[in-house]
Structure 1
């Protein structure tokens, strides 16, 4: 009888998003900064440009026609756990918080109503990110 390890539950919300500039705070690339190019929410990981680079060996495949053959050793970014990065704001790093702001919205018929909107804020300065 084999027992499977239960999968980790993904975070309800990840505070790091695609396009954010982050700094690595732990691991072999500690201190490196880069832009988030991908978010893997189900695994709690992010892919950061220029960080955690790995060499991947790909099989030579004949694509046929004029394109020729493709394959060899490709250097690419591997995912890094979201707990090992922090958002860069200004000259340093900051934690991320949320704030609910009241906004006025307009319906299609022209009437207006008030609603709340969640915005990311810097815990250091309190400014909207």
Structure 2
């Protein structure tokens, strides 16, 4: 059951909601959060489950906390500054690489599953 006819309409609306819930409304931050959410939606559509999107979100949050911890930021969530162009590019590249990796792995899995279902050659 869906609440809209086209899944990309739902993806766009929920991506805007996801971005706004992060509380950073500068253009770079909003652009990144919308991009991230759209990639997470695409991963969900592609794989048929939430697992890849959850792994992506968790991994990036852990990386952000590790980087912030090494930079002396005591509470990264309370002191979250607006995105910088370097941070935006880094996050977009990491998000895109993960999505490409999942897509390739999923495609290989689909091909392998199809080959298993093919009937054997006639004798």
> TM-score category by the smaller chain?
under 0.3
What TM-score does the superposition give when structure 1 sets the normalisation length?
A: 0.23
- Which protein has the bigger strand share? 1
What TM-score does the superposition give when structure 2 sets the normalisation length?
A: 0.24
Structure exhibiting the larger radius of gyration computed from Cα positions: 1
